[in-house]
Amino acid sequence: MLEVLTGTGLAASAGLNAYIPLLTMGVLARYTSVIDLPAGWQWLGNGWVMAILAALLAIEVVADKVPVVDHVNDVVQTVVRPTAGGLAFGAGSSSETVTVSDPGSFFSSHQWVPVATGVVIAFGVHLLKSASRPVVNAATAGVGAPVASTAEDATSVIMSIVAILLPVLVLVFLVGLVFFLVWFLRRRSARRRQRDAARTAGYPV
């Protein structure tokens, strides 16, 4: 079960920022003993790979904080984030961490399953992030974009570390994500009703 929570947390993190969970695993595997990546994923700890991930992360961090540019970035990341989520789930769920000592007991076969699972999780989080950002930009005239992006980056970092060190706490994030989704859908529905009412009354919208 811990393998699933570790993979889920890392994939969800990738849905917010594609490069943070991959870079986190690479750094921790290379410089600490808290995670031992399996043979097929040890390339994440390669110096050149980490340098490339760090450069891509820097670009992502800047682009995601500029209104309009963040929308273009989200379109591009529609492919990148789910892919990173698949890699993060696959690597994280099959690695040995301080909390997971026998990952092979869960994913002993069908090696494509964790990757596919990670793609789905990251894609879902990415869609929620992409749908909420225009609402934030419209409500704050673009001022809220850097704040929202910074919060998302911070959440991605925390989620990546927690998924490796304390995967049980991933459940707390998942519960929070459900509550946020319900709140967001209700708010979006209320705004739609307000626009329809204003349009019916003949007011500009």
Tokens for 57, please give them. Answer: 């992360």
Q: pTM of the prediction?
A: 0.80
Higher pLDDT residue, 111 or 5? 5
- Pick from 130, 134, 142, 128: nearest CA to 181: 128
Higher pLDDT residue, 194 or 10? 10
pLDDT greater than 70 at residue 27:
yes
Tokens 């043979």 locate to 39
pLDDT grade for 13, boundaries at 50, 70 and 90:
very high
Mean pLDDT calculated for residue range 35-46: 86
**pLDDT in the model for residue 152:** 87
- Pick from 61, 20, 19: nearest CA to 160: 20
**pLDDT in the model for residue 22:** 94
Higher pLDDT residue, 15 or 114? 15
List the beta bridge partners of residue 35.
97
Distance CA(50)–CA(12), nearest Å, equals: 20
Tokens for 24, please give them. Answer: 């986190």
